[in-house]
Amino acid sequence: MRLALFGPPGAGKGTQSTFLRDTFGLRAISTGNIIRKAIREGHELGPTLDAHIKDGGLVPDEIVQDLAKSSIVRHNFDQFVLDGFPRTLSQAKWLNDFLEAYKVPLQMVIFLAVPDEVVIERLSQRRIHKLTCEPYHLLYHPPPADVDPSLIIQRKDDRPEAIRFRLETYKKVTEPVERFYEDKGLLTKISGLGSNTEIQKRILENLNPSLEYQIA
Ligand code: AP5
Ligand code: MG
């Protein structure tokens, strides 16, 4: 199965990619998590990446494409769910050509639709695990009691100004990707509102029946 999750910041892409990973044994490939890990581990590109993401801007296409490519290749071109990639038209075209060249095209893009006010509420209440990047919400999905509280942090780009900038960037640069996948007949739009369980159920109900998959 080769899927991508698409949607605005805070739509629940990370939350649902964890669900798809656990349900179907997929690799969850989040470019955001790869970038944060590179910064945390002192990668040579760390300072450049940090400068791009801290205020909510995008990392240049060539850099993100290289990161996504390494991850897809490492996972043998299959059984993955992309989270947060592609998010520019040129990334979408690049990914299309890259996967077509290996005859492993994307099979489905799940668009989680969530309005701005919900994005703002979710992101201001989000905390993540410093090492695994697992997302939590202070109210709806609090960090488990057995996790060391010093490992639970707030992302720099979850400050109010950065959230606003991310939403603007999404509308200007990322929304056109929706049309790209619609035209290819790959886009399935589902509401990202409601409880996590309701959204999981919606995803399962909308999975393309032609996909071959096994419950992990
Ligand atoms: P990235 O980490 O991908 O951030 P994002 O796209 O802005 O999305 P988020 O991670 O903020 O939200 P999410 O949709 O994963 O929601 P989550 O599940 O956490 O990217 C960060 C940065 O990296 C970018 O700004 C950019 O700089 C750079 N970057 C990454 N990819 C790039 C690319 N392709 N090109 C260029 N630059 C790139 O949920 C949010 C919160 O809501 C959590 O607290 C969660 O617990 C809660 N929640 C989830 N579902 C529910 C629910 N149903 N009810 C209540 N709360 C819920
Ligand atoms: Mg995320």
Q: What is the pLDDT of residues 15-46, one digit of tens each?
A: 999 999 999 999 999 999 999 999 999 999 99
**213 lies in some domain:** no
Q: Give 216's pLDDT tier (boundaries 50, 70, 90).
A: low
Instruction: Say what the pLDDT of residue 173 is.
Output: 97
**84 lies in some domain:** yes
Task: Please provide residue 28's backbone torsions phi and psi, each rounded to the nearest 5 degrees.
Answer: -90, 115
Q: Which atom of ligand 1 is nearest to the CA of 157?
A: 25
**60 lies in some domain:** yes
pLDDT digits (tens, 9 = 90+) for 69-128: 999 999 999 999 999 999 999 999 999 999 999 999 999 999 999 999 999 999 999 999
What is the domain-level CATH number for residue 184? Answer: 3.40.50.300
What ranges in the chain are assigned the alpha helix state H?
A: 13-24, 31-40, 46-53, 61-74, 89-101, 116-124, 160-169, 176-183, 196-206
Residue 60 amino acid letter: P
The overall average pLDDT reported for the chain is 95
**147 lies in some domain:** yes
pLDDT digits (tens, 9 = 90+) for 49-67: 999 999 899 999 999 999 9
Any ligand 1 atom below 6 A from CB of 9: yes
**143 lies in some domain:** yes
Closest to 139 in 3D by CA, of 127, 148, 151: 127
CB 121 within 8 A of CB 163: no
pLDDT digits (tens, 9 = 90+) for 177-209: 999 999 999 999 999 999 999 999 999 999 977
Instruction: Say what the pLDDT of residue 214 is.
Output: 66
Residue 70 CA to ligand 2 centre (angstroms): 19
**155 lies in some domain:** yes
**Which ligand is located closest to the Cα atom of residue 13?**
1
Instruction: Say what the pLDDT of residue 211 is.
Output: 79
Question: 90 to each of 61, 85, 129, 174, how far by Cα in Å?
Answer: 7, 11, 31, 10
**179 lies in some domain:** yes
Q: Residue 10 belongs to what H/E stretch?
A: none
- Work out how many domains the chain is built from and give that number: 1
Instruction: Say what the pLDDT of residue 169 is.
Output: 96
Query: What domain range includes position 133?
Result: 2-206
Ligand 1, atom 48, residue with closest C-alpha = 12
**Which ligand is located closest to the Cα atom of residue 142?**
1
Question: Is residue 110 packed enough to be buried (19+ CB in 10 Å), middle (13-18) or exposed (0-12)?
Answer: buried
**160 lies in some domain:** yes
